[in-house]
């Protein structure tokens, strides 16, 4: 399972404001949304049925049941990251095994299903209990995983990926469940532990996936994911049920159908444009139908009382420019990871394929420096925004990411070049992923931060879907098809990196419209006064 054609990023909550509470800030800097500094009370809804926080100051001791509960939530919460990396690295082998030129749908099918399922999963978790919903989603994901791994044909595999996409919202629900299952004083540490474990997994998983793919092939790697999903379900069974909140609102079925259907049509049109012709009737009809569905989705969301995406927030310039300006370049960063996977793992065949022919393990080792710098950059942003505007930090990240992609377009022919360009891109990407939260805190009120995070998460997924399909279209322009498998020439990789740099440039153009932002402080930011005036 994965949320993108690249190693999955840490999920951002798509939660009602009452569920996550607000982001706490203070003189020492910004704490991630939904958490608070250790030892202080968390904003938001206190856990029900879990006892009250100890009185007085200081950090409360953790009981054995609480520690077991925390440990049980880590793997289900981070399985999406692990599965994303394993599945992304398996794509080259899968493309060659099934002799398909439509490998993009291996990831896009999962992503589209996750986009449609996440808002409903959150709402149903409020109504029926988050553990129950997570178990149902994990069971669906397990069915999809099994279909994927035993699929006799590629279309069957894609169908399995659609079903497997139902697991996607579990990562979001785990973070939401933490607030219900721990006393307020311990929520910050619990959230930090669950979310922070992604740093370790992001370094270990590429090596694990390399060993699995090199030793057992893509089916062996995907069987590992089946076992991982079973383990996640067993761990969730040991977690108490969360409180139910009956007033969860109506489910926005029309919005989900219009969003998912519109995106699917646009992505399908872009994927077939090269074969049909960019001026063909089929391409134009599919693209127009997708555009009409998305336009209808926008109109519907502005009228419905419980929308999937609260597009009304985008009527405010600071919020719109921050959310869109941050989602677009992040989508390009995540999509660009696919370029390296195919470049590294596809074979070197004269006049056919200009891949490097590395093993998956070797590629994972080469990627360690970039992974470390990405992690370090994310930590550094939290310190930087105490002294300078989040917008300034954001522009630095955009410049580094775009520059790194241009360098990668020119220099990608050996391990040294890939390490150096990867470090530059990783530095920029790490700044963007962390800088986005600092900017969101600066333009919305505490009550809106959860909704803004949800909007940001879904927008990033939407732009990632479109950007990924554009990436595969660019790669296909300089491909040679041998026995049904598309192999890419050097020019394809060059153009792909340049295309992603152009998408980052588009994000920069939008970001230039972001008004001056205040540095995060303990003062609540009202919707009307979010931009700084000083």
Q: What is the pLDDT of residues 281-334, one digit of tens each?
A: 988 998 999 999 999 998 998 888 878 777 888 888 889 999 999 999 999 998
Residue 55 is predicted with a pLDDT of: 37
- The token pair at 384 is 């930087």
Q: How far apart are alpha carbons 278 and 127 in whole angstroms?
A: 46
Residue 14 DSSP code: -
Please provide the distance, in angstroms rounded to a whole number, between the alpha carbons at the two ends of the chain: 46
Distances (CA, A) of 103 to 106, 109, 262, 395, 425: 5, 10, 21, 34, 25
Q: Where are the domains of the chain?
A: 1-39+65-248, 253-303, 314-534
Higher-pLDDT residue of 26 and 158 is 158
Q: What is the pLDDT of residues 259-280, one digit of tens each?
A: 878 888 887 787 777 678 888 8
Cα–Cα distance, 341 to 89 (Å, whole number): 6
pLDDT category of residue 518 using cuts at 50, 70 and 90: low
Among 58-62, 291-295, 419-423, 507-511, name the one with the lowest average pLDDT. 58-62
Burial group, residue 221, by CB count within 10 angstroms (0-12, 13-18, 19+): buried
Q: Do 1-39+65-248 and 314-534 come out as alike in CATH topology?
A: yes
The pLDDT value given to residue 189: 75
Task: Please check whether residue 196 is in contact with residue 346, taking contact to mean a CB–CB distance below 8 angstroms.
Answer: no
The alpha carbon of residue 130 and the mean position of all alpha carbons in its chain are separated, in whole angstroms, by: 21
The reported pLDDT for the residue numbered 451 is 67
Q: For 1-39+65-248, CATH number?
A: 1.20.1250.20
* φ, ψ for residue 517, nearest 5 deg: -110, 145
pLDDT, residue 530, reads: 40
Residues 24 and 522: their CA atoms lie apart, in Å, by: 7
Closest listed residue to residue 464, CA positions, set 11, 14, 17, 120: 11
Could you tell me which residues come within 8 angstroms of residue 481 by beta carbon, excluding any fewer than 6 positions away?
101, 487
Q: Where is average pLDDT lowest: 67-81, 305-319, 467-481?
A: 305-319
pLDDT surpassing 60 at residue 456: yes
**Using 50, 70 and 90 to split pLDDT, how confident is the model at 247?**
low
127-138 pLDDT, tens per residue?
888 999 999 999
Q: How far apart are CA 9 and CA 12, in angstroms?
A: 9
3-state secondary structure of 58: coil
* Domain with residues 314-534, CATH architecture: Up-down Bundle (1.20)
358-364 mean pLDDT:
92
Residues 485, 96 contacting (CB under 8 angstroms): yes
Residue 5 has pLDDT above 70, yes or no: no
Q: Are 294 and 258 in contact (CB under 8 A)?
A: yes
DSSP code of 3? S
Please tell me the predicted confidence (pLDDT) of residue 418.
Answer: 96
CA-nearest of 351, 359, 356, 357 to 479 is 351
Mean pLDDT lowest for which of 2-16, 323-337, 426-440? 2-16
Q: Which pLDDT value is given to residue 533? A: 32
**H or E element that contains 221:** helix 184-237
Instruction: Give the distance from CA 213 to its chain's centroid.
Output: 23
Does residue 23 sit in helix, strand or coil? coil
Tokens of 388: 């300078």
Q: Where are the beta strands (DSSP E) in 244-354?
A: 348-349, 353-354
Specify which of 59-68, 192-201, 237-246, 360-369 reaches the highest per-range mean pLDDT: 360-369
Q: What is the mean pLDDT of residues 15-44?
A: 34
Q: According to the model, what pLDDT value does residue 366 have?
A: 93
3-class DSSP state for residue 415? helix
Q: How far, in Å, CA of 167 to CA of 189, rounded?
A: 25
- Reply yes or no on whether the pLDDT at 209 is more than 60: yes
Percentage with pLDDT > 90 across the chain: 38
């Amino acid at each position: 399972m994965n949320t993108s054609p690249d190693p999955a990023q840490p999920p951002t909550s798509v939660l009602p404001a009452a569920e996550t509470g607000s982001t706490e800030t203070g003189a020492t800097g910004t704490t991630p949304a939904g958490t608070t500094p250790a030892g202080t009370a968390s904003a938001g809804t206190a856990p029900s049925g879990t006892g009250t926080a100890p009185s007085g100051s200081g950090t409360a001791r953790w009981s054995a049941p609480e520690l077991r509960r925390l440990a049980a939530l880590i793997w289900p919460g981070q399985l999406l990251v692990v599965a994303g990396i394993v599945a992304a690295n398996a794509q080259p082998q899968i493309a060659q095994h099934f002799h398909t030129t439509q490998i993009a749908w291996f990831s896009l099918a999962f992503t589209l299903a996750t986009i449609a399922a996440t808002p409903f999963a959150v709402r149903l978790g409020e109504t029926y209990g988050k553990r129950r919903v997570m178990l149902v989603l994990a069971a669906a994901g397990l069915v999809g995983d099994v279909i994927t791994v035993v699929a006799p044909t590629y279309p069957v595999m894609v169908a399995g990926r659609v079903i497997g996409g139902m697991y996607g919202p579990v990562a979001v629900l785990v973070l939401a469940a933490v607030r219900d299952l721990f006393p307020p004083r311990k929520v910050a540490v619990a959230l930090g532990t669950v979310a922070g474990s992604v740093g370790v997994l992001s370094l270990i998983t590429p090596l694990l996936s390399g060993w699995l793919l090199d030793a057992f092939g893509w089916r062996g790697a995907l069987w590992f994911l089946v076992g991982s999903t079973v383990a996640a379900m067993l761990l969730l069974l040991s977690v108490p049920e969360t409180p139910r909140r009956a007033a969860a609102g109506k489910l926005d079925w029309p919005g989900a159908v219009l969003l998912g259907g519109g995106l699917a049509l646009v992505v399908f049109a872009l994927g077939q444009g090269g074969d049909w012709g960019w001026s063909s009737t089929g391409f134009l009809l599919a693209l127009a139908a997708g555009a009409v569905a998305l336009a209808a989705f926008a109109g519907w969301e502005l009228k419905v009382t419980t929308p999937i995406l609260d597009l009304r927030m985008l009527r405010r310039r600071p919020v719109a420019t921050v959310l869109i300006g941050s989602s677009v370049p992040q989508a390009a960063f995540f999509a660009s990871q696919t370029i390296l996977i195919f470049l590294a793992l596809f074979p070197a065949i004269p006049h056919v394929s200009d891949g490097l022919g590395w093993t998956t393990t070797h590629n994972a080792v080469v990627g360690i420096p970039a992974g470390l710098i990405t992690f370090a950059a994310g930590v550094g942003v939290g310190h930087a925004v105490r002294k300078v505007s989040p917008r300034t930090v954001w522009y630095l990240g955009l410049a580094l990411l775009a520059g790194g992609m241009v360098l990668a377009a020119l220099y990608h022919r050996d391990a040294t070049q890939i390490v150096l360009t990867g470090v530059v891109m990783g530095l920029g990407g790490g700044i963007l992923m962390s800088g986005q939260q600092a900017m969101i805190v600066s333009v919305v009120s505490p009550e809106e931060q959860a909704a803004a995070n949800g909007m940001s998460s879904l927008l990033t997924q939407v732009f990632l879907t479109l950007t990924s399909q554009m990436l595969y279209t660019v790669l296909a322009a300089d491909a040679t098809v041998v026995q049904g498998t598309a192999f890419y020439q050097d020019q394809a990789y060059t153009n792909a990196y340049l295309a992603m740099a152009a998408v980052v440039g588009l994000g920069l153009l939008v970001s230039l419209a972001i008004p001056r932002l205040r540095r995060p402080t303990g003062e609540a930011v009202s919707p009307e006064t979010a931009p700084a005036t000083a």
